[in-house]
């Protein structure tokens, strides 16, 4: 009995030590493809995500796919960081129950948050999809027939976000979404539209609650759309339509968002299938000395989504050329804007 008690006390002690160790732990390295512990020691759950910077704080939103979640709901997680390497879990900023009774099996994917400085509101866009009741299971794309964006609003970056509605931007089917905020602060929604075999860049209304202006239609069957404006050129990155399976992601350039856009080219050796990742965002880190553009990608694990990994890497980008170097650990200093490899 005494031994049992001793073992019990020891295991409690060990647990407490490991929890406090996890909380205190700080990292100065981003390790592409590895587990990424948050401030509580749990792997970050912000898949298909997006990042905004408010003053000196970055907020990372994404699909919450932890094993423990109640599957009656869909969740958007929120993490905050001052250095892009150490992330504090700020809770689930949106908890959503099925938004429409016509939906059967449904998903919430690729959430992105914009800050509207005029209204002071945080506006979240997300891909809402699923099967539509009464439609035929055998139809290709049956599980993704709804094809809409959802919009939710909050007064604070960490939420809670209040879901408002879903709609089809520009009246079109919309699946993977991406966000882009230009240097002058103008927000854009990127969305893939299967029937048009391409993707759209749409402008947002003054209150950000609608995506109502077509800026460009890029005729290329790509999703996971992401854009960055760097040294006078727009670069767009996207992946082929292969579901959770990785493929060679590609990029094109234009001097204006409305185009014309160049031909698409590989961002990495095609045989690597983008090192197993799919684009979700291009994050521009503007420092006092340098500007670094980070490729943010997801390495999906469809059977164990909670274990899906992140492939973040500083891009080689200049003069109309963009290249994703072979992944390796790196550190980033958000003040200087410099990223460097860590051996």
Site string for ligand GAL, 255-284 (x = CB under 6 A): -----------------------x------
Per residue, what are the HEC states of 50-67? EEEEECCEEEEEEECCCC
Is the Cβ of residue 159 or residue 224 nearer to ligand GAL in the bound state? 224
Rounded to the nearest angstrom, the gap between the alpha carbon of residue 263 and the centroid of all alpha carbons in its chain is 25
Contact between 109 and ligand GAL by CB under 6 A: the answer reads: yes
* Total binding residues toward ligand GAL, as defined by CB under 6 A: 9
Contact between 244 and ligand GAL by CB under 6 A: the answer reads: yes
Contact between 38 and ligand GAL by CB under 6 A: the answer reads: no
Contact between 110 and ligand GAL by CB under 6 A: the answer reads: yes
For residues 287 and 335, is the Cβ–Cβ distance under 8 A?
yes
Task: List the structure tokens of 228.
Answer: 């960055």
Residues 48-107 binding ligand GAL (CB under 6 A) are 48
Strands 73-81 and 57-63: antiparallel
Which one among 176, 230, 267, 314 touches ligand GAL, defined by CB under 6 A? 176
For residues 274 and 267, is the Cβ–Cβ distance under 8 A?
yes
Is the Cβ of residue 75 or residue 230 nearer to ligand GAL in the bound state? 75
DSSP, res 327: P
Is the Cβ of residue 210 or residue 223 nearer to ligand GAL in the bound state? 223
Residues 6 or more apart whose CB falls under 8 angstroms from that of 280 comprise 48, 49, 50, 110, 178, 224, 226, 296, 297, 298
Contact between 223 and ligand GAL by CB under 6 A: the answer reads: yes
Closest CA to 237 of 175, 309, 296: 296
Give me the least distance between CB of 302 and ligand GAL, in Å please: 7
Rounded to the nearest angstrom, the gap between the alpha carbon of residue 266 and the centroid of all alpha carbons in its chain is 21
Residue nearest to ligand GAL (CB): 243
Is the Cβ of residue 54 or residue 241 nearer to ligand GAL in the bound state? 241
Give me the least distance between CB of 281 and ligand GAL, in Å please: 13
Give me the least distance between CB of 280 and ligand GAL, in Å please: 8
Contact between 173 and ligand GAL by CB under 6 A: the answer reads: no
Contact between 304 and ligand GAL by CB under 6 A: the answer reads: no
Give me the least distance between CB of 107 and ligand GAL, in Å please: 7
Contact between 221 and ligand GAL by CB under 6 A: the answer reads: no
Residues 6 or more apart whose CB falls under 8 angstroms from that of 55 comprise none
For residues 152 and 126, is the Cβ–Cβ distance under 8 A?
yes
Closest CA to 278 of 242, 319, 328, 316: 242
Give me the least distance between CB of 187 and ligand GAL, in Å please: 21
For residues 264 and 222, is the Cβ–Cβ distance under 8 A?
yes
Give me the least distance between CB of 184 and ligand GAL, in Å please: 29
Task: List the structure tokens of 342.
Answer: 């860590």
For residues 158 and 80, is the Cβ–Cβ distance under 8 A?
yes
Contact between 169 and ligand GAL by CB under 6 A: the answer reads: no
Residues 6 or more apart whose CB falls under 8 angstroms from that of 16 comprise none
Give me the least distance between CB of 271 and ligand GAL, in Å please: 20
Is the Cβ of residue 81 or residue 239 nearer to ligand GAL in the bound state? 239
Give me the least distance between CB of 278 and ligand GAL, in Å please: 6
Give me the least distance between CB of 185 and ligand GAL, in Å please: 27
Query: Can the peptide bond before residue 160 be classed as cis, meaning omega within 30 degrees of 0?
Result: yes
Distances (CA, A) of 100 to 15, 57, 131: 43, 34, 11
Residues at the interface with ligand GAL (CB under 6 A):
48, 109-110, 176, 223-224, 243-244, 278
């Amino acid at each position: 009995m005494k031994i049992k008690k001793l073992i019990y006390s020891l295991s409690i002690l060990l647990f407490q030590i490991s929890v406090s160790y996890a909380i205190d732990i700080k990292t100065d390295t981003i390790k592409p493809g590895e587990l990424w512990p948050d401030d509580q020691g749990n792997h970050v759950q912000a898949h298909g995500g997006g990042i905004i910077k408010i003053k000196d704080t970055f907020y990372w939103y994404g699909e919450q796919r932890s094993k423990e979640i109640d599957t009656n709901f869909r969740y958007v997680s929120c993490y905050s960081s001052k250095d892009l390497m150490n992330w504090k879990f700020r809770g689930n900023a949106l908890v959503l129950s099925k938004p429409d009774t016509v939906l059967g099996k449904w998903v919430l994917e690729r959430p992105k948050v914009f800050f509207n400085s005029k209204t002071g509101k945080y506006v979240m866009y997300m891909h809402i999809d699923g099967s539509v009741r009464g439609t035929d299971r055998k139809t290709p794309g049956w599980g993704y027939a709804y094809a809409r964006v959802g919009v939710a609003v909050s007064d604070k970056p960490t939420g809670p976000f209040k879901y408002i509605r879903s709609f089809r931007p520009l009246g079109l089917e919309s699946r993977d979404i991406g966000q882009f905020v230009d240097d002058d602060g103008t927000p854009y929604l990127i969305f893939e539209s299967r029937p048009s075999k391409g993707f759209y860049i749409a402008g947002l209304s003054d209150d950000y609650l609608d995506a109502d202006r077509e800026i460009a239609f890029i005729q290329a069957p790509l999703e996971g759309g992401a854009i960055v404006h760097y040294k006078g050129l727009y670069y767009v990155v996207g992946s082929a339509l292969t579901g959770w399976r990785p493929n060679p992601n590609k990029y094109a350039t234009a001097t204006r968002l409305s185009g014309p856009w160049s031909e698409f080219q590989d961002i990495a050796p095609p045989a690597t299938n983008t090192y197993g990742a799919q684009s979700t965002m291009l994050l521009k880190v503007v420092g006092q000395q340098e500007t670094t553009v980070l490729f943010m990608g997801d390495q999906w694990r469809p059977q164990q989504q909670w274990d899906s990994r992140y492939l973040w890497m500083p891009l080689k980008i200049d003069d109309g050329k963009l290249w994703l170097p072979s992944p390796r650990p790196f550190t980033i200093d958000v003040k200087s804007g410099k990223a460097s490899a860590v051996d």
